[in-house]
Chains A and B, each alone.
Chain A
Amino acid sequence: MLKYFVSRILLLIPMLLVIGLVVFIGLELAPGDPITAMIPPDQLSSMTLEDIEAMRESLGLNDPMLVRYFRWLFNLIKGDMGYSVVTGTPIASIIQNLLPATIKLTFAALIISTIIGLLFGIVSAIKSNTFIDYISSVLGVIGISMPEFFIGILALLIFAIRLKWFPAQGRTDVGLNALQSLKYLVLPACSLGMVLAAALMRYTRNAMLDVLNKDYVKTARAKGLPEWKVYYKHVFRNSLMPISVLLLLRLPMLIGGSVVIEQVFGYAGVGSRLLAAINGSDYQLVLVIILLLSTVSLLASVLIDMFTALLDPRVRLGGDIGGAK
């Protein structure tokens, strides 16, 4: 099993290199010359072409692309992500400031949606084709089909503006205790988690109903196991495999959703910064953030493989059907 995990992690490296290359090429193709961006226009006009060329040479801008790519990559690993061309601040410090907030938001949304999704999914599977099942089905379809921003705005209107339970906008950690700053998290995290919760609920229900029809569930009942044990040990455990795949597969979508939700709630995070960067043509920042988000997606897919291996001996031990060893 350890071998399997190590090989999965090692496989990450070439994939990250390719993503890095794509982002780097994107940076290359982005409009604008680094020199003109670096030097104020009034100084630039007094420089000769030779001066500019000499500067290019000294900055290594004339090296072959592959050399520059690996230099860029190496700097990236060291934590030097370059500078935002719009504000001039180091990208590393921007991300350092905003990433924890976004992680907190997506993580909270993930937990909320997992709890709600699994709970309602299990209940509607056990009570399939009853009133409870129909109600949660309807809610599920509504949840899946409503876009995140709409849920966000709705939540804003009801809970922040009408009921005034939670703050409508912003995020702050300054001078507040944990409980107060948590208040800023509740609405965005809930709105972000709702879509995933609805999808997860439908999926859990179907996965469980699928497993319920399997012969080994009948075997479990034929052994005389009580119903709760049948459900817990044989139905839920086995349907957890497809559910965990969905959950982790949706993780990148959750991060994508956070871009929208952060904007709706004025929640300062990587997502809302990404939107601002796109609007401000801050290509450096956009591409680095995209690199970051795609790395998370990649990590999620490795997590899926690991989780499936943990749950399913057929994946872990290799080999498929039949055949004694």
Chain B
Amino acid sequence: MNKQDYILSINDLKTQFKIGKRVVKAVDGVTLNVRRGKTMGLVGESGCGKSVTAHSIMQLLPKAGSIKEGEIIFRPQNSEEFDIAKYRKTDKKLRNMRGRQISMIFQDPMSSLNPVYRIGDQIIESIIQHERISKKAAIKRTVDMLEMLSIPQADKRIMDYPHQFSGGMKQRVMIAMGLITNPELLIADEPTTALDVTIQAQILELMQQMQEQLGFTIIIITHNMGIVADMADDIAVMYMGKIMEFGAKEDIFLRPTHPYTRALLKSVPVLGNGGNDRLEPIRGTTPDPSDMPEGCSFMPRCDLATEKCKNAPPYEDVGNGHMVRCWYAKGGAANE
């Protein structure tokens, strides 16, 4: 595949947090390619570093966190590619990128909107920051965008404050805020976790509709295998700051190769899968990120672990860009 087909290439990204004297390696060598115009699902359990990866792309890390190593190459359509990791958090280059080329929506729409400003003003703020545009035109665009996201009476609702919106409506506002500047990449950090199940489906469907119309790329971060099965083209499975397995959706769901991916899939119910399959929880708990085991980080919980696993396994292609980080990936025990 051509380099230009990837909108984002992350190479060996390491993001660390310094908490007192402890150093937590939240992201520990992530390598990832995101295809332009597609949807990539980043899955993993809580604390695996998926959210930190997303925040690293935007360089929106909290004060204690910083990118230590690696590169995040962003290739916008109409301008030069650049390495996001090379710039400081407050650099003008990144400010111009945030909200214009890459937008991000967060987990909790309730707290993501500023309670003291009208929602119209909050969306317009984003347009005005990046474009020379009259207030009137900005309002018009905001109303149009909200209508596209099926918010009824959008022309009146822009005058309302966040507390006058329901959770699902607020998340629509967040999506509108993200898409209003026509970005090339939308990062959705668990966009439906804080919403009702019925609203979840609506929001995801809206995101897909918008993607079809506007043609942006989505990185969706979630711990919900159902959501990635529904939305994603490619899936990256993350564990303890590393990508364990990466591949097209079919590869991950039909030919899961890493023991962690298999365990993850066995632990979620699948509709219409017959009644006899028991759900299997993954045994053990995640290790302390500041005290990681040597070698493969999944070893303490893995059924296949042997002496060999005390050395770090390679990240290998097992065919068609299906990447796996396991000693037994190539025709080994994991493929039984």
Contact = CB atoms under 8 A, between A and B. Distances in A.
B116 A225 contact: no
A224 B166 contact: no
B111 A227 contact: no
Contacts of A216: 111-115
A77 interface: no
Contacts of B98: 221-224
Contacts of A317: 161, 163-164
Interface in A193-228: 214-216, 218-227
A14 interface: no
Nearest to B187: A222
A56 to B, nearest CB: 61
A222 B99 contact: yes
A234 B114 CA distance: 7
Contacts of A225: 95, 99, 125, 129
B39 interface: no
Contact of A324 (B103, B165, B174): B165
Contacts of B165: 324
B163 A320 contact: yes
Interface residues of A, number: 29
B126 A324 contact: no
Contacts of A223: 98-99, 125-126, 129, 177
Contacts of A313: 115-116, 161, 163
B169 A324 contact: yes
Contact of B112 (A215, A224, A312): A215
A313 B113 CA distance: 13
A222 B60 contact: yes
A189 to B, nearest CB: 33
Interface string A286-325: 0000000000000000000000000111100101111111
A209 to B, nearest CB: 11
A68 interface: no
B120 to A, nearest CB: 13
A323 B161 CA distance: 12
A26 B115 CA distance: 46
* Of listed A220, A222, A317, A322, residue having the most chain B CB within 10 A: A222
Contact of A319 (B103, B116, B163): B163
Nearest to A241: B116
A237 interface: yes
For chain B, the bracket of interface size reads: 20 to 34
A139 B96 CA distance: 40
Contacts of A136: none
B157 to A, nearest CB: 9
Contacts of A311: 116
A169 interface: no
B164 A324 contact: yes
A233 B128 CA distance: 14
B130 interface: yes
A226 to B, nearest CB: 6
A238 interface: yes
B116 A214 contact: no
B151 to A, nearest CB: 10
B106 interface: yes
Contacts of B114: 216, 219-220, 234, 238
A238 B117 CA distance: 10
A218 B99 CA distance: 12
B113 A219 contact: yes
B84 interface: no
Contacts of A220: 114, 125
Interface string A42-58: 00000000000000000
A215 B110 CA distance: 9
Interface in B90-114: 90, 95-100, 103-104, 106, 108, 110-114
7 contacts: A218-B106, A218-B112, A223-B126, A225-B129, A238-B114, A313-B161, A319-B163
Given A221-B60, A324-B165, 9 more contacts: A215-B108, A219-B106, A219-B112, A219-B177, A223-B99, A224-B98, A322-B167, A323-B164, A325-B164
Q: Which 7 A-B pairs have the closest CB atoms?
A: A224-B99, A224-B98, A223-B99, A215-B111, A216-B114, A313-B161, A223-B126
Interface of B: 58, 60, 90, 95-100, 103-104, 106, 108, 110-116, 125-126, 129-130, 160-161, 163-167, 169, 174, 177
